[in-house]
Each structure stands twice: as C-alpha cells, then as structure tokens.
Structure 1
Amino acid sequence: MLAHRRTILLGAAALPLPALAQAWPHRPIRLIVPYAPGGGTDVFARALAEGLRPLLGQPVLVENRAGASGIVGSEMVARAEADGQVFLVDTGSHALNPYVMPSLPYNTQRDFTAVSLLSRFPILLAASGQAPFSDVAGLVAAARAAPGTIGFGTSDAAISYAGNLFTRLAGIRMEEVTYRGAAPMLNDLIAGHLPTSWNSTVAALPHLQSGRIRALGVTTTARTPLLPDVPTLAEAGVAGYDFAGWYGMLAPANLPPPIAARMAEATAQALREPAIRQRLLGIGVDLQPLGPDEFRTFLHQEDTRWAQAARDGLITRAQ
C-alpha cells in the first residue's frame, strides 16, 4: 500500500465531514484519463467534465496521462492528495491490470476510493475498409488459412482480453498489436496498416459512420441499439462470447465519504443533462451510473472474476 497520506487539506481539517462536502470543491478539479487523447475514455471524460462544471462551480479539467495500459495515470491518482481535487476516469482495465501486469506501483483495492460506475458498453470488433474480409466468418476463415499473420489492435488490458477471448473461442491464432490509446490504433486501422481492432463504440462510431472502417461484431449477448444491424459475436458463430466494457471514476484512498457521495451525485446529474445524455447515448454508452457503495461492490466482483480467470488460464500475465 502507498505511504500514508493526508486526507484533508490543513485549512479544512477542522470542518465536520458534512460541512467539508458543502465547502467542496474550492479549487479546479482534474479528471485524469490514463490513455491518449481521442479514445473512448477521453471522449466520455470530456463530455462529463462539460456537464460537471456548472454543477460544481469550478473548472473541471481533463488531463491525459497515457502509458503502460493505464498504469501511469492511475499511479498519479493513487499518489495524489485525497482532497477531492483529483479523480481518475478509467476503464475495466483498472480491475484487470493486477492479473496481467507483472507488478503494479499501487494496489487497486486499497489505494483508491470508488466514486461512480459511469457506464457500461459493448466492445466492437472492427476491420479496416481495406481488409479482404467483411464479416466474422470471413475473418475466421482467413486466420485459419494463415495462422498468426493477421493482427488485431488493442489499447488496454480489458480490450486485450476481449481480443484474446475471441481468438480462443474461435480456435484461431492472430497477432496482438498493442497501442497507447484508441486514437492511434484507429488511425492505423483507417490507413490499412492494421487489419482488425477492438474498440469501444464511443471511439469507433465516427469512423463507422464515415465508412472508413467496418463493424464485424459486438461482444455483448444482445445487439446494441446504436448498431442494430451488427451481430453479436455469438450470433456470428463464436459460441459463448459475452463481454462488456465499463468506465468508472475513482479517487485516491481515504477520500472523505461525503465528497465521494457529492461527486457521484453531481456525476449522475451531469449524465442526465439532456444535451450531454443525448451525445453519449448517440455514441453507444449505457448511462446507468452507480454510486460509491454499489461501485465498490462491483469492483470486488470484478476482482473475483479476474482472479478466477487467471486461475483458469484465461488471461496471461505480461512478461
């Protein structure tokens, strides 16, 4: 666990917790996105920041701190003052990283405060417009004809799991190509340098609408209303495939509960704001946020899930 940190600024230390929450925030708030600009997490965080500004009465700034599958930005938040000025907006990779990375400079269970589960969403298997296949069956046939020669792009641990689960269940061998974020991965997909990739619908939708990439399938058991003509991977012939991504907000450990609760309430209110809600629904997210207690339970469930997957050999630890 990280070294003990102060949890409340000295000037506010004498305030009772309810009064502290009412006084918060007293400075600009920073949302740390641990991935490159332009990806799904970044798009979501910037829309959320726009909705939070008038509710909190302070600037809400989005900072991209990309690197090491989200670890660089996450460590920054884990080591920050727990005063309600710095929050992490991350994906399901936050819960998965302990089981795929050789070591982490923080403990995902002890060094963060759960604030809000922001959204769940399907992951999309997409292909370059220049790829010689246009559906899952064509991709599987091509991969079986030339094992290990077709690449699939990933940008974080959860996306990597989605891609590797596909190859395992389809019984094929493909080459994983890792990126620091969804935006550079999509650039290579559009340019034809990468034949396939796994993305959030948030990141991929603009490029699907322009026809620059193709949607092959979604990872959830039900089709997304955003792309009703795109089959689920199970429908496309990959039996048993079921996986969803998520966005969540966390803070440093020991954030005072009233501040976590107020931030969660403001987040839920921002996501109900019609213009922001319509924008996010229009890019494929499921806006059913959970508060601190429910999100904490969800994170424990995720940790249990990945621990079992590791024991079952379904995920591989990086070297």
Structure 2
Amino acid sequence: MATIARRSVLSALPATLAAPRVLHAQGGWPQRPVRVVVPYAPGGGTDIFVRSLTEGMTQVLGQSVIVENRPGASGSIGSEYVARAEADGYVFLADTGSHIMNSYVMTSLSYQPLRDFAPVALLSRYPLLLTASTTAPFRDVPGLIAAAKAAPRTIGFGTSDAAISYAGNLFTRLAGIEMVEVPYRGAAPILNDLVAGHLPTGWNSTVAATQHLSSGRIRALGVTTTARSPLLPDVPTLAEAGVPGYDFAGWYAMVGPAALPAPIAARMHDAVVQTMSLPRVRERLAGIGADLGVLGPAELAAFLREDDARWAKASREGLINRAQ
C-alpha cells in the first residue's frame, strides 16, 4: 500500500496568508450563485478538486458556488457549453490539460480552446499515476512490462481524457510494449473497475486516486513526473522504474467565456487565492496531492499558449493522433 505523506506537501504552502474577505467586482458581482462546470463525471480527480475548492469559495464570494458536471467527449461537451454561455461571470469551466489538447486529437471541435475562452486562473499542477488492480499478477512496472511483452495486447489500461490517454500511450511507446486502451467517461469509473478487478491498469491523477491508495484497494506503480510526489514518497517515478525519458504532468485551470469582463476574471482569480488561504481548504487540497501554485489571467494565458505549442509540435511529429 502506498504511503500518503501530507506534511511535506503542506510545508510547501505559504505559512501565513491574508484573512479571506468577501470580494465584489463591477456591478456588485456576484449577485447570485456562480456555476463552475466540470466536464467529467462526478467522483473523478477534477470533480474532487473543484468541489473541495468551491466549498470555500462560497464564503469568499458571499454567494453559492455550484459545481455542475457535464461529462462526455473528453471534456468537450462541457467546454462547448461554457464557450456558448453568456459571459456575465456566472458560468466558468474547470478543466484539465485536455482542454488545449482536444483540438489536436479530436477530428472537429465547435470551439477553439485559446480563442473562445477567457483565462481566469491556473489552479494546480499534479503528477499522474500508473495504477493497477490488486488482483493483477504484476506488482511493479518491470513486472507489467514483462507481462505485456509476453502477451502483447492482452492488458488493458483505462483512460478518461486526451491528456490521460497521452500519458498511457507515451508509456507504451517508451516501454516498447503493446497494450489496449480502454476509454472511460471519467476517473471514477476507472477506479471502480480497478477496485473490482475488472481492469488491470489505469491512469489517474493523484487527486482521484489518493483515497483508494490509502485504503489499499489499488496499487500505484509509478508517477509520471521526473520527481517523486511528496504525497507518495515510496512510489517511484516511471523513469526510475525502468522507462527512461518519461516526464508528464497534469494541470487544472479555470476559464470563462471569451467575452468575460477582465475585472470579473481578476476577481474570480482573487477569490481562488483567498479560498486557498482557508486552512481547511488548503489542507484538503494538499492532502490529495494538489500543487497549489496559482497563476492569474495573464500568466495563465501565456501558460496555455505554451501548452498549445507543445501539442502542435507533438501532433506534427506524430506523437499524438486524431481520433477516428
């Protein structure tokens, strides 16, 4: 069972932050509940993270902040909904790296990720995990690679969005093995099938997998970043475990419709920062492996442009493929 170490994650956060205050922007915004759309199924990493955050945002904004799940099509259904929503500051999108990547892996999108959304805040970066069912015959990465080489295309791996899919397929390419990708509508169904023994391996965020790891219901075989996660110090990186050159990290960000007024975007970013200063929220998010380095609207815009350039290059080089 993986060791969950929370103290070292928490120690990386600011020790003292300003007391939260109720924030208001132009026109007394917000004057009614604010909705945050999560484009994945309930119970996954994005859903867990956003619900942990929005519980505290209600106190900071002085209005209810409601999470609305709109899953499907690697997050594009919920994204399209927000892109077409009224830009009045009452509908936002919280998404993963698939938000940008989808334009390179899906045959058609009705929106453009950079053009049709207003950046608000980068919420978190986090490592992904290669996880396995406790019923699987292998207990580590070398064992999985050996099993996959002995019986090509007999071992499945669960994925829930474009970025998670890339993580899994990058692993098979670098390890020189053939496995079968099994797409899911969210992380929660992947984890359910891992726990039940219906799926041998899956790719998850630390946020989604933590509770199952701590209870011993699944195994963590490796983390995707070049450094081990402070939350899971006994879990090797994939590079350490025998896949040289493996390096990939996920992220969560909040955006709004393209015409979102800049003062509201700035205030929503401030609300995120203020919420993360609440001890109960900070401890909850750090305890599920979230890196709470928040970026503001301008910084997030630059971050998203860099991510777009990364996937454009990967697409040109044939490292990612469009869905058929």
TM-score range, shorter chain: over 0.9
Asked whether 1:240 is paired with 2:253, we answer no
Q: Offset at 1:29?
A: 0.1
CA deviation profile, 1:37-91 (whole Å, cap 9, x unmatched): 0000000111111111011111110000001000110010000000000000000
Runs (4 or more) in structure 1 with deviation over 6 Å come to: none
Partner AA of 1:91 in structure 2 = T
Residue 287 of structure 1 is matched in structure 2 by 292
Asked whether 1:137 is paired with 2:129, we answer no
Q: Contact 1:118/1:287 (CA < 8 Å) preserved in 2? A: yes
Aligned length: 301
Residue 13 of structure 1 is matched in structure 2 by none
C-alpha separation in 2, matches of 1:269 and 1:312: 42
C-alpha separation in 2, matches of 1:150 and 1:85: 44
CA deviation profile, 1:236-281 (whole Å, cap 9, x unmatched): 0100000000000010001110100000011011112111110110
Q: How does 1:157-196 map to 2 (within 5 A)?
A: 157-196=162-201
Residue 94 of structure 2 is matched in structure 1 by 89
Residue 132 of structure 2 is matched in structure 1 by 127
Residue 225 of structure 2 is matched in structure 1 by 220
C-alpha separation in 1, matches of 2:90 and 2:116: 16
C-alpha separation in 2, matches of 1:244 and 1:129: 25
Residue 256 of structure 2 is matched in structure 1 by 251
C-alpha separation in 1, matches of 2:191 and 2:138: 18
SS at match of 1:141: helix
Q: Contact 1:21/1:262 (CA < 8 Å) preserved in 2? A: no
TM-score (norm. length: structure 1): 0.93
Q: Offset at 1:22?
A: 5.6
C-alpha separation in 2, matches of 1:94 and 1:266: 22
Aligned CA RMSD, in angstroms, stands at 0.9
C-alpha separation in 2, matches of 1:91 and 1:109: 14
Residue 146 of structure 1 is matched in structure 2 by 151
CA deviation profile, 1:111-157 (whole Å, cap 9, x unmatched): 10000000000000000000000000000000000001100000010
Residue 212 of structure 2 is matched in structure 1 by 207
Partner AA of 2:49 in structure 1 = F
Q: Contact 2:25/2:267 (CA < 8 Å) preserved in 1? A: no
CA deviation profile, 1:5-27 (whole Å, cap 9, x unmatched): xxxxxxxxxxxxxx952611111
SS at match of 2:308: helix
C-alpha separation in 2, matches of 1:164 and 1:271: 34
Asked whether 1:42 is paired with 2:66, we answer no
Partner AA of 1:123 in structure 2 = L
**Please, which of 43, 46, 64 is the counterpart of residue 69 of structure 2?**
64
CA deviation profile, 1:185-212 (whole Å, cap 9, x unmatched): 1101111110000000111011111111
- Identity among equivalent pairs (%): 70
SS at match of 2:43: coil
C-alpha separation in 1, matches of 2:142 and 2:26: 54
Residue 282 of structure 2 is matched in structure 1 by 277
TM-score (norm. length: structure 2): 0.92
Residue 305 of structure 1 is matched in structure 2 by 310
**Structure 1 residues not aligned, in runs of 5+:** 1-18
